Each structure stands twice: as C-alpha cells, then as structure tokens.
Amino acid sequence: MLVASAFVVLAALYGDAPDAKHAWAVHDWNRPKPAKVEVDEKGVPSDAVVLFDGTKESLERNWCDLNCGPTKWQFRDGVFFCRAGGGFGAVRTREEFGDCQLHIEYRHDPALIHGNSGPQMRGNSGIFLMGQGYGYEVQVLESYFTSQEAEGKPGFVDNYADGQAGAIYAESPPAVNPAKKPGEWQVYDIVFHQPVWKDGKLVHPGSVTVFFNGVLVQDHWEMEGQTTHRWRRPLSQHPAKGPLTLQDHGCEVEYRNVWLRRLPSRWDNLTCSEMSACPDKVMEQRRKTAEKLFAKISDPKAATADNVMALAEVVSYANEGEYNAAFNAALEAYRANPGDKREVDRVNGALDILVRGKVIPKSAKVSAK
C-alpha cells in the first residue's frame, strides 16, 4: 500500500535499494512490467499452449503414442479417452515441456467404474508431467466413493491413500478429498517444477502443487523420488523437457480442456528467497540497469541536486567504476554549494536509501547552507 500523498511522485530511490539478493529496489520504477495475459471465456490464458480444445483435429495435432505415431486414444463428442480393457497405451504430447502450469479435466462413466480386479482398477489413469519414464505422476482414479457401503455395489473400493485421485502417486495423498461423483467432470490445476541438478548433483527436488476441483490438495509438494508402484526410487537426472503423458491403466477415462503454460524455473528467479537469488545473476541485472540509467544522464559532472540523485540511483544498482567516480564527484561539488533546505532534504531522502543499504556512510549526507 502506498502511504503517501497522492501528489508524491514515486521517484528514484524511494524504497530500499537493490542488494546481493535483489536486482530491484522496493517499488522500483525500472522493474519491467509483467506481460499482459488475456483470459478467454473458457478460462484459457492467452499465453497457454492449448493441447486439446474439444476437436479431433487438436487431438491428432498435439498427441501421439509413445513412439510418436498416431495415438489409439479415441475422440468422441468433444472428449478423448482410453477404453476399458487397455491396449491403447499411454498418450503423450508431441511437444515437450518442463516446468509448467497445467489445466486438465477428466471424467469417469459410472457404468464403467468397478474395482473387480482391485481398487486401483477404478478408473485408473494418471498425469505424468514429463513422460512416463521419469515418474512424476499425479494420480487419476475414481475416488468419490471410498467405501463399498457408500457406493452400494460390490467391488473393491477402499484404496491406499497415496494412490487415490489428487495423490502424488506413492508419495503424498491429497490433503483432503474433493472428488465429485463419477459422471461429473473433475478438474486438476497443477503447478510443476522439475528437480534441478547441477554438475550431476541434486540442487532442488522440484515441486508439485495441485488444485483438485479448485481445492488445494498438494501444497508445493517437494518430490521425494520417482512415483513408482511399491518401490521408493530416488530422483534421477533427465533432459530438461519431456512430453506430458496420460496413462492407460486399462480403464476408460475421458479427458477434455487441456492447456498448459510454460513456466520459468522458480529456482532461477532473481528476486526472492534465499535459494533462488543467484548473486552473480542479480549483479548482472543490476549492472544492466545501472548502464541504462547512466546513459540517460546528459551531464554527469553537473553539480545539481537532480544529477546527484540520478547518480545516486545509478550507484544503488552498481557502485563501481565510472558510476562511483561520477557520483562522488557530483556529490562533493553539490556539498560545496548546496541548494536550499527543501532541496537538500530531497537529496538526503535519496541518500538515506543508500545509507540504509550500506552503499554510502551516513557522513556522506549533505548539510544545508
């Protein structure tokens, strides 16, 4: 919240200065504005890759079998599906992705839901975020009924918690169970960050966040390993991109409305958290901004308040080399011949930010005449 008069223009050096973990100052006007994204009437953002829009053409264009041949998954009335009894094999996207936001909807036909071959045959499918081989599965399963009495018909219903819908399979059960009845559409919104490796060593295990029918069921779950039936398997390094893949587990499951947004790695973010700020990259960005701002100054030698403040902003990004020399020279010249108290207060307001950021000592501030 801006606590200031409406007439105050947010000037340079208004908030705390850039530092080793922050490429930008607080409330930094030099910071790029986020790209504009429009959301259409179906809720699809304009920067999304639409992987299935309800047409057969989009199924054929975007999806294939594991060998990149035509998929056996079928199209019917705006949905695509694998059939009960299996034999279709998994379906994957032709394009490959890494970190992403994924929206996907699925539905079970109540007439085809049974667990006669075991509880994991109740409409089992799954969303493999980077392909079936690397093992990041968000489970798809009929999970509204969790007891035989409730469903009122025979068949295995009870499941292990880390195998029901919304689970990171074999690792993390959903926090709660917001599944709707079979026959209704179920909606997943998933945020996935793949594990990060450096020089063959795991730097971060990656994370999966899942909203299930709008309810948060996986809250930034950090991957323990690959999602494998019965076995704990450690994470394993793989290419940075892989196909979004849907599992054929021998059960009929319908899918619709599939779109995905590519995300940058949050571990490469310049602006926040202990982990993500890479000091070298932060400094690289700060130098770029300093260079841009310095180039805008027509006379760096001017002994004016405006010039001192402009240079103070430059050194808030990079207090080095010609920037540092120009700032010190202009400050010294201004201190020898300062303006009135109102002007000096303005200059000192900017210098205070540098003092707080330990860029300059308190003694560098200017005394009015």
Q: Which residues bind Mg ion (CB under 5 A)?
A: 124, 126, 247
Helix, strand, or coil (residue 276): coil
Rounded Cα distance between 218 and 17, Å, is 36
Nearer to Mg ion, 247 or 307 (CB): 247
Q: How far is the CB of 140 from Mg ion (least distance, A)?
A: 6
Q: How far is the CB of 227 from Mg ion (least distance, A)?
A: 9
* Residue 72 · residue 246 · CB < 8 Å: no
Q: How far is the CB of 249 from Mg ion (least distance, A)?
A: 5
The alpha carbon of residue 215 and the mean position of all alpha carbons in its chain are separated, in whole angstroms, by 18
Q: CA 190, 68, 230: angle at the middle one, nearest 5?
A: 50
Nearer to Mg ion, 129 or 293 (CB): 129
Nearer to Mg ion, 172 or 307 (CB): 172
Q: How far is the CB of 128 from Mg ion (least distance, A)?
A: 9
Q: How far is the CB of 4 from Mg ion (least distance, A)?
A: 55
Q: How far is the CB of 216 from Mg ion (least distance, A)?
A: 21
- Of 112, 115, 126, 70, the closest CA to residue 94 belongs to 70
Rounded Cα distance between 283 and 286, Å, is 5
Nearer to Mg ion, 13 or 223 (CB): 223
Nearer to Mg ion, 55 or 117 (CB): 117
Rounded Cα distance between 41 and 35, Å, is 20
* Residue 305 · residue 339 · CB < 8 Å: yes
Q: Which residue number places its CB atom closest to Mg ion?
A: 126
Residues 6+ apart with CB under 8 A from 218: 138, 166, 168, 172, 174, 175, 208, 209, 210
Q: How far is the CB of 126 from Mg ion (least distance, A)?
A: 3
Nearer to Mg ion, 16 or 224 (CB): 224
Rounded Cα distance between 256 and 64, Å, is 16
Nearer to Mg ion, 225 or 357 (CB): 225
DSSP state, residue 131: B
Rounded Cα distance between 18 and 283, Å, is 9
Rounded Cα distance between 50 and 57, Å, is 12
Q: How far is the CB of 111 from Mg ion (least distance, A)?
A: 21
Nearer to Mg ion, 73 or 323 (CB): 73
- Of 112, 106, 110, the closest CA to residue 125 belongs to 106
